[in-house]
Amino acid sequence: MLSTHFRFALRSVSRFKIPSLINFLGFAVGLTGAILLSSILLHDVSYDGYHQRGNDIYRLSTGLNMRDGKRHFASTSVMSGDNLSEVIPEITDRVRLRYQDLTLTIGDKIFNNENTSFVDKGYYSSFTTELVAGQYPKEESDILINESTSERLFGTTDPINKVISSQGNYGTKGLTVVGVFKDYPTNVSFRPNILADFTIIEPFSNKSYGSIVPGLNTFLVTDGSIDAEELNEKLNEFYKEHIGDLLDIVVHEAEVYSGMHYHRGLEFDLGQKHDKNTLWVIAILALFIIISTLINFFNMQTALVIQRSKELSIKQVLGITWASKIKQQAYESMIVLLPAFALSGIMISLALSELEQYTNLTLANGWFSADNLWWLMAGLFLIFWTITVAASLLMSRWNSYSVVSNYKTKGQSNIRTFLIGLQFTLAGFFIFSASVISNQLTYMETLDLGYEQDNLMTITLNQVSGYDQARTIKTAFEGIAGVKKASLSTAPVFGWQSKANFSIRKDTAQENHLLNVNLIDPDFIETNQMLVLVGENVDEKGRKLLLNERAVKALGFSSNDEVLGQKMMYSMRDTTMEYTISGVVADYHYATMHQMIEPMVLLTNELGGYFNLTLRTESNDGQLTTALEKKWDEFFPGYLLTYNLVEESIDNAYRQDYQKGAFYQWATLLLVFVSAMGIFGLTYFYADQKRKEIGIRKAIGAGMKQILAQIGKPIAWVCLASILVSVPLSFYFSGEWLAGYQYRVTLGAEHIILTVILMASLAALALIYPGIKASKINPVEALRQD
């Protein structure tokens, strides 16, 4: 009996090969897309949920009210948060975290630029840190390392109680590994590799409320009985009493840790950032794809039921039992759904791995892990199988006339058309958005940065003992074949820039400004191929400095020429020095295009130290790298040469932008495919619904064009309505997305025209098979059917 039902089901599916294949592919692709989107969504909505006390922890940020505008920093001074727990009882602890790069020596192995997090002792009781071996630190020299760092530094050797020699701004110090902790998941804002005691670096920090330390985050741990608004009120009262003279300039603000990854725009912010709107888009998209997939499936099933109405009616007359109907429908649904779920499971397994590598996110965990994925697919199969069998049984109770009648009288045909139009609208929205994102990414790749990024290499000089040694290294590297030019600076041309206080006398008043500053040598401009607009470059002979165009405007000068020869005072630590403005350079993008170019000062000052060597090379081949490593080993035997290519640094800075662009392109293709399946199903349904009408039209001489026009008319109306809705919506939201860039493309008619053309092409493509099939209907057979 079972084999009989199976044969009937297989014959039924094989009779309608194209619709069944479309159903199979549409369901498999739609399900795969929805589950992949869900894996990304679940990763992001659970952000920072790893820390069990995340809702009780607040990050302290610092606002500066300067003469030339307000600035807001994610960083603080080392004093921020001092004594707060004594006057605000809800605060139980203050935890500081600062990243610094150290040079670590283990036996004869030397590891440069090891990113180390210096934290207060309260970190271990406030932030979740799962030990897999050892114990928490007790002494100042005790450190923890995560599993990845343990494997990289020690291999298979047990690291517990091993002493590491470290070099930092504090000098040289032995650090003892007392524990190994589990790697933080990728949905955590701060993911330290090495945890050391903050007291090691604290004596080397400026003890002033107004001295903001880049990379220093201060967290206030509460007992959970206070919210952000009340906490900020109490903080204001505290700081009025303790820094009343600075309160007009320095402002502190607290925000809950579990939500700070949605807060953009703070300077010196090291935490991972996410956009709530993107998460909403992912959630709606995943839900809509799975709903659309079901709609498309049932649309096609409805059309097949109509085609099989005579067969179903005969079976009804012959007295087919309800149990046989259930078995028949169950087999027919299984023949389509089971292979679709199997194919979807295989595609998800392969795609998750690729998606993880591309996004650097941990997605294959929980239900999406290798052990649980097929259980998830099995559960979903049972749910969808039950739904489709029940729906098919309801449809099978009607013959072709009653199906058509019910759809007309109850408005189900209108609902069907509306839902297809909704998918089509969403496809149009993503087509428009993807074109805008693609244009913006192309714009960023082609915009003049103000310097030449190709063949530009930077090397961090952590080991140098002073400017003289740095200059010796520069000269030696310039002599290597393949190196065209070299320069020394505090920071590379692209990346973090320090800030310093400058003052300039205008009329009779002394104006103070907080400006970005980079300490450079005279070769910095030529090495980076920057443009001096007026004046001349700095030199070794006197104290001269360069301003960018933004700085000229910030200082209140009306032209670049007017600023030449003016005197500026530069304050560094406890020293103030007078400089002469020698020239103005063209504005250049030292940060991403999300950030407006700010005032920049370039000056020479060997007392400030030079920590970065920039090389302009002819190419970046292996032969040059070998020569650089050999020369490096002459100065620092045993130390590994680490370098960065500026082009790669810029690409990494835009990594999330490129990922979002790829996501939208992928989502657009998925939506286009699902929408095409929906339009195909709708057209197929209309064609079968109008078989008699088409037969009559062909009998009186209608040709293929007339038949296609008749079938395509409702699709054309759906397409037009979708365009009228999707274009304005996508135009608005694309404008909101572009607002996140200070330098961006302009939305124009080309985006609208492209969207209209692609949507019309999509509708036409989905119409081809059902339309041509309808045009080939035999009039005699169509009229005889009734």
* 90 lies in the same domain as 215: yes
Whether 31 and 91 share a structural domain: no
Residue 576: inside a domain: yes
Residues 299 and 375 in one domain: yes
- Residue 102: strand, helix, or coil: strand
Q: Is 24 helix (H, G, I), strand (E, B) or coil?
A: helix
User: Position 9: which residue type?
Assistant: A
Query: Is the model's pLDDT at 147 over the cut of 90?
Result: yes
Q: Match 């975290």 to its residue by tokens.
A: 97
Cα–Cα distance measured from residue 77 to residue 232, given in angstroms and rounded to the nearest whole number: 18
Give, for 753, the enclosing helix (H) or strand (E). helix 749-775
Burial class of residue 205 in the structure, from the number of CB atoms within 10 Å of its CB (0-12 exposed, 13-18 middle, 19+ buried): middle
- 250-264, 290-304, 341-355: least confidently modelled range: 290-304
Q: Based on the domain organization, do 207 and 76 belong to the same domain? A: yes
**Mean pLDDT, to the nearest integer, of 652-680?**
74
> So what's the pLDDT on residue 399?
43
- Domain presence at residue 707: yes
Lowest mean pLDDT among 77-91, 468-482, 598-612, 656-670: 656-670
Q: Is 41 in the same domain as 65?
A: no
Is position 562 within any domain?
A: yes
Mean pLDDT of 230-257: 78
Report the half-sphere exposure of 500 (CA within 13 A, side-chain side).
23
Phi-psi region of 173 (alpha: psi -120 to 50; beta: other; left: phi over 0): beta
C-alpha dihedral sign at 32, 33, 34, 39: positive
Residue 366 neighbours by CB under 8 Å, 6+ apart: 42, 372
Q: Can you give the pLDDT at residue 410?
A: 43
**CA 635 vs CA 287, 482, 665: distances in Å:** 60, 20, 49
The CA–CA distances, whole Å, from 688 to 299, 309, 685, 718, 774 equal 12, 11, 5, 19, 8
Q: Which of 466-470, 510-514, 563-567 has the highest mean pLDDT?
A: 563-567
Q: 232 and 318, same structural domain?
A: no
- Residue 574 inside a domain? The answer is yes
Any domain includes 270: no
**Res. 779: pLDDT tops 60:** no
Which residues, including other chains, have CB under 8 Å from residue 213's CB and lie 6 or more apart?
Answer: 75, 76, 77, 78, 98, 205, 206
Q: Is the pLDDT of residue 302 over 70?
A: no
Q: Are residues 133 and 215 in the same domain?
A: yes
**221: in domain:** yes
Q: How confident is the model at residue 702 (pLDDT cuts 50, 70, 90)?
A: low
Predicted local distance difference test score (pLDDT) of residue 761: 84
Judged on CB neighbours under 10 Å (0-12, 13-18, 19+), 666 is: middle
Spatial separation of the C-alpha atoms in residues 687 and 139, rounded to whole Å:
80
pLDDT for the residue 145: 96
Structural contact between residues 613 and 461, judged by C-beta atoms closer than 8 angstroms: yes
CA angle 247, 600, 450 (to 5 degrees): 145
- Give the DSSP per-residue string, 565-608: T-EEEEEETTEEEEEEEEEEEPP--SS-TTS----EEEE--GGG
Read off the pLDDT of each residue in 754-781 and give the average, rounded to a whole number. 70
Find the mean pLDDT for residues 656-675. Answer: 74
Range 258-294 burial, b when 16+ CB lie within 10 A, else e: bebbebeebbbbbbbebbeebbebbeebbebbbbbbb
* Domain assignment of residue 637, yes or no: no
Domain that holds residue 251: 54-262
Picking from 659, 37, 41, the residue whose alpha carbon sits closest to that of residue 348 is 37
Domain boundary at 374, 406, 438, which?
A: 406
Are 104 and 251 in the same domain?
A: yes
> Residue 182 and residue 413: Cα distance in Å, rounded?
56
pLDDT band at 615 (very low <50, low <70, confident <90, very high): very high
Residue 614 near residue 525, CB atoms below 8 Å: no
Which tokens is 254 given? Answer: 């607290």
Confidence bin at 426 (pLDDT 50/70/90): confident
Last residue of a domain, one of 203, 227, 262: 262
- What whole-number distance in Å separates Cα of residue 149 and Cα of residue 474? 32
Mean pLDDT of 423-452: 85
Residue 401, pLDDT score: 42
**In this prediction, what percent of the chain has a pLDDT beyond 70?**
78
The pLDDT, as a whole number, for residue 450 is 92
Given CA atoms 392, 29, 419, 705 in this order, what sign does their dihedral have? negative
Residue 157, both tokens: 């050797």
Predicted confidence (pLDDT) per residue in 482-509, tens digit = 999 999 998 899 987 888 888 888 776 7
Nearest alpha carbon to residue 297 among 340, 352, 241 = 340
Per-residue pLDDT band for 408 (boundaries 50, 70, 90) equals very low
Q: pLDDT-derived band of residue 400, with 50, 70 and 90 as boundaries?
A: very low
- Whether residue 455 contacts residue 618, with contact meaning beta carbons closer than 8 Å, is answered with yes
Return the percentage of the chain with pLDDT > 90, whole number.
24
Is residue 406 over pLDDT 50? no
Domain final residue pick, 236, 262, 288: 262
- Residues 6 or more apart in contact with residue 143 via CB below 8 angstroms: 137, 164, 175, 176, 177, 178, 194, 195, 196, 197
Cβ-based neighbour number of residue 333 at 10 Å: 23
Q: What is the pLDDT of residue 402?
A: 46
Least confident of 216-220, 316-320, 556-560, 755-759: 316-320
Query: Would you call 514 helix, strand, or coil by DSSP?
Result: strand
Distance in angstroms (rounded) separating the CA atoms of residues 694 and 712: 13
Same domain for 769 and 708, yes or no, is yes
Main-chain phi, psi angles of 66, to 5 degrees: -100, 165
pLDDT bracket for residue 116 (50, 70, 90): very high
Q: How far apart are CA 318 and CA 333, in angstroms?
A: 23
Residues 473 and 612 in one domain: yes
Q: Are 730 and 429 in contact (CB under 8 A)?
A: yes
> How many other C-beta atoms lie within 10 A of the C-beta of residue 661?
20
Residue 256 has pLDDT above 80, yes or no: yes
**What band does 773 get if pLDDT is binned at 50, 70 and 90?**
low
Say whether both 71 and 163 belong to one domain. Answer: yes
270-274, long-range: CB within 8 Å, 24+ apart, which pairs? 270/74, 270/99, 270/190, 270/215, 270/217, 271/74, 271/189, 271/190, 271/217, 272/47, 272/188, 272/189, 273/656, 274/44, 274/47
Check pLDDT > 70 for residue 687: no
Q: In total, how many domains does the chain have? A: 4
Report the pLDDT value the prediction gives residue 243, as an integer from 0 to 100: 65
Higher pLDDT, 575 or 174: 174
Nearest C-alpha neighbor of 435 from the set 759, 33, 750: 750
Q: What is the pLDDT of residue 173?
A: 93
Is the pLDDT at 642 greater than 90? The verdict is no
In a domain, 488, yes or no: yes
User: What is the pLDDT, as a whole number, of residue 199?
Assistant: 93
Of 55-69, 139-153, 569-583, 656-670, the poorest mean pLDDT is in 656-670
Residues 733 and 766 in one domain: yes
Confidence of residue 130 (pLDDT cuts 50, 70, 90): very high
Q: How far is CA 151 from CA 106, 154, 574, in A?
A: 13, 5, 44
Alpha helices in 46-135 (DSSP H): 84-87, 123-126
Cβ atoms 682, 299 nearer than 8 A: yes
448 compared with 332, residue with greater pLDDT: 448
Nearest to 573 by CA among 677, 501, 491, 645: 501
Whose CA is closest to 593, among 533, 658, 662, 530? 658
pLDDT tens-digit map of 12-53 = 666 666 667 777 777 888 888 888 888 888 888 888 888 989
Report the chain's mean pLDDT, rounded to a whole number. Answer: 80
pLDDT band of 396, cuts 50, 70, 90: low
CB-count exposure of residue 54 (10 Å: 0-12, 13-18, 19+): buried
